[in-house]
């Protein structure tokens, strides 16, 4: 049996909304990478660009939301179509939050530069490592969404604790900095928030992956412990 | 293909049950070993593409096929609480229709007054007492949400009512004999959206008194009014389950393809 609707217009609408989710996902992924890069290199211009792009992320969320309402009103979707739209609705909420975290990091970079903290002796490399992990999770959950790949989504959920562990390590490092040189306390606290923002990006990636499982399987795996995941999905 | 029948975890009392039911129009096998429960005070919807057997199944429930030449029932429909097999040749179809009444696609009032339409079944049963008839007609019209509109014109011809009112009159006529199950065969397909809404509302009301089995082409209607949904295809019961599950997460891909409009 065909996977296409009798209404090709409906197919086009659903495929367009998925494409736009991926567009939004790609954009926030770039935003996180650019924000962390701006922090690592203390680039004021790049941080400004991230803050400016945030507007586009918000705009995409609103546009996709409007498309969602239109499809629901006009098509009265059921079953997997309905699950897709509900999943998309939650996904874009999470992506918008990721965009917020990127903008937060960019604003922190501005503040650090303004306060004269200048690239001295901060664990920015470790920060980049955490950012790469979070971004990789985000990309994999978007891939899982694009391919409706439950196994990949489960991998993302399982790997979230690695990002959490990285965050804990970073926190310990920053505490050491503060103890060694109290003059770094103010900047270190800012960096704690950056590390937390990146950890949140990982959480959002996990939420996205949970929505992929919901869309494909119809199973709500939120708040399911990792070892119970397999049995919940099968 | 085996049916996927998902019974509720805490099933309500059973009102009727089709057991391995097959039906033949001459050589043509229109139903192929259908199993399906009908729960008390619940609405069960039958959906499926044209020719899937959903109307045939519905009509088995009050022996509508009996006059069709060469018809043959196989299997059983047991009606609770006594468990009588209503398809058995020794069971009088008139008796069955007293217990299971039917509302059709197009409103079909008798060419009589509103009062006579509702009182008809009672009179056939031998009820002659005028005050009993008055009371029962009023109760039935109230039950069908038609009393306020009809109480001052009970002696007018029923055909003067609007389409939606006529359909509610047919429901009142079905209710008057206090049946145990009412069968609806696409009851709103000839009605506008407002009249459709009032019939759907009514189905939600009368299920507190009777069990309802409804055939509908309108899937959203099935989703709105029913507690349980059965999807049929080519004379087979493909999937049966709680309406929420069927419309959110059907177990069978064929069901999902049909309700999401991918069928074709």
Q: Which of A1, A12, A81 to mutate to test the interface with B (most CBs of B within 10 A)?
A: A1
Is B262 in contact with A78 (Cβ distance < 8 A)? no
Per-residue pLDDT tens for B193-245? 998 999 999 999 999 999 999 999 999 999 999 999 999 999 999 999 999 99
In the prediction, which pLDDT does B79 show?
A: 97
In the prediction, which pLDDT does A7 show?
A: 86
Out of B220, B257, B261, whose CB is closest to A1? Answer: B257
Per-residue pLDDT tens for B120-166? 999 998 999 999 999 999 999 999 999 999 999 999 999 999 999 99
Q: Which of B219, B224, B229, B249 to mutate to test the interface with A (most CBs of A within 10 A)?
A: B249
Quick check: B9 pLDDT over 60?
yes
- Closest residue in A to B264 (Cα–Cα): A6
Q: Sort out which chain A residues have CB atoms less than 8 A from B223's CB and list them.
A: 78
Question: pTM for the whole thing?
Answer: 0.85
If pLDDT is split at 50, 70 and 90, which confidence band does A118 have?
low
Q: Taking residues A112-124, what's their average pLDDT?
A: 76
In the prediction, which pLDDT does B264 show?
A: 54
ipTM over 0.85: no
Spell out the domains of chain B, with CATH numbers in brackets: 4-259 (3.40.50.300)
Provide the CA B78 distance to its chain's centre, in angstroms.
16
Q: Sort out which chain A residues have CB atoms less than 8 A from B248's CB and list them.
A: 78-79, 82-83, 218
Cis before residue B21, ω within 30 degrees of 0? no
Q: What element of type H or E holds B238? A: strand B236-242
Quick check: A189 pLDDT over 80?
yes
If pLDDT is split at 50, 70 and 90, which confidence band does A120 have?
low
In the prediction, which pLDDT does A1 show?
A: 37
The residues spanned by each domain of chain A are 8-233
On whether the CB atoms of residues A126 and A185 are closer than 8 A, the answer is: no
A184-191 LR contacts (CB < 8 Å, sep 24+):
A184/A121, A184/A122, A186/A115, A186/A117, A187/A112, A187/A115, A187/A117, A187/A122, A188/A122, A190/A108, A190/A111, A190/A112, A191/A108, A191/A122, A191/A123, A191/A127
The count of C-alpha atoms lying within 13 angstroms of the C-alpha of A76, restricted to the half-sphere facing its C-beta, is 10
Out of B247, B249, B253, whose CB is closest to A1? Answer: B253
Quick check: A124 pLDDT over 90?
no
Q: Taking residues A97-106, what's their average pLDDT?
A: 97
Q: How far apart are CA B126 and CA A225, in angstroms?
A: 67
Quick check: B11 pLDDT over 60?
yes
Residue B65 DSSP class: G
Average pLDDT, chain A: 92
Q: Taking residues A200-227, what's their average pLDDT?
A: 94
B241 touches chain A (CB under 8 A): no
In the prediction, which pLDDT does A184 show?
A: 86
Quick check: A119 pLDDT over 70?
no
Query: Per CATH, which fold does A8-233 belong to?
Result: Methane Monooxygenase Hydroxylase; Chain G, domain 1 (1.20.58)
């Amino acid at each position: 049996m065909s996977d296409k609707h009798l209404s090709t217009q409906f197919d086009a609408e659903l495929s367009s909304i998925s494409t736009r989710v991926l567009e939004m996902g790609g954009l926030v992924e770039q935003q996180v990478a650019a924000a962390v890069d701006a922090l690592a290199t203390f680039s004021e211009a790049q941080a400004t660009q991230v803050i400016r792009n945030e507007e586009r992320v918000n705009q995409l969320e609103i546009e996709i939301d409007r498309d969602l309402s239109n499809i629901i009103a006009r098509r009265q979707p059921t079953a997997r179509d309905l699950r897709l739209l509900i999943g998309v609705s939650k996904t874009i909420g999470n992506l918008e939050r990721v965009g917020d975290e990127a903008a937060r990091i960019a604003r922190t970079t501005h503040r650090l530069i303004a306060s004269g903290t200048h690239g001295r002796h901060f664990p920015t490399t470790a920060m980049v490592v955490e950012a790469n992990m979070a971004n990789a999770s985000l990309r994999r959950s978007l891939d899982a969404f694009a391919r409706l790949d439950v196994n990949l989504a489960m991998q993302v959920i399982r790997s979230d604790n690695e990002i959490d562990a990285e965050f804990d390590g970073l926190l310990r490092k920053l505490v050491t900095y503060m103890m060694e040189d109290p003059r770094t306390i103010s900047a270190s606290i800012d960096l704690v928030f950056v590390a937390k923002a990146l950890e949140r990006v990982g959480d959002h990636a996990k939420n996205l992956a949970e929505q992929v499982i919901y869309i494909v399987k119809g199973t709500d795996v939120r708040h399911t412990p990792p070892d119970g995941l397999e049995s919940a999905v099968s | 293909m085996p049916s996927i029948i998902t019974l509720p975890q805490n099933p309500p009392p059973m009102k009727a049950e089709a057991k391995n039911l097959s039906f033949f129009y001459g050589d043509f096998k229109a139903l192929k070993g259908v199993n399906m429960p009908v729960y008390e005070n619940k609405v069960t919807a039958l959906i499926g593409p044209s020719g899937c057997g959903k109307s045939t199944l519905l009509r088995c429930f009050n022996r509508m096929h009996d006059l069709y030449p060469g018809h043959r029932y196989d299997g059983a429909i047991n009606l609770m609480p006594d468990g009588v097999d209503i398809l058995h040749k020794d069971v009088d179809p008139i008796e069955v229709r007293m217990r299971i009444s039917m509302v059709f696609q197009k409103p079909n009032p008798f060419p009589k007054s509103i009062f006579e339409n509702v009182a008809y079944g009672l009179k056939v049963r031998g009820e002659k007492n005028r005050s009993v008839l008055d009371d029962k007609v009023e109760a039935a019209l109230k039950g069908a949400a038609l009393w306020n509109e009809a109480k001052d014109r009970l002696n007018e011809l029923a055909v003067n009512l609007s389409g939606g009112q006529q359909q509610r009159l047919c429901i009142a006529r079905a209710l008057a004999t206090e049946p145990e199950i009412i069968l609806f065969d696409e009851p709103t397909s000839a009605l506008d959206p407002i009249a459709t809404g009032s019939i759907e509302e009514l189905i939600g009301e009368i299920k507190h008194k009777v069990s309802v089995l409804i055939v509908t082409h309108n899937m959203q209607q099935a989703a709105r009014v029913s507690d349980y949904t059965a999807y049929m295809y080519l004379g087979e019961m493909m999937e049966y389950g709680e309406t929420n599950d069927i419309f959110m997460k059907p177990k069978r891909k064929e069901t999902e393809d049909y309700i999401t409009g991918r069928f074709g």
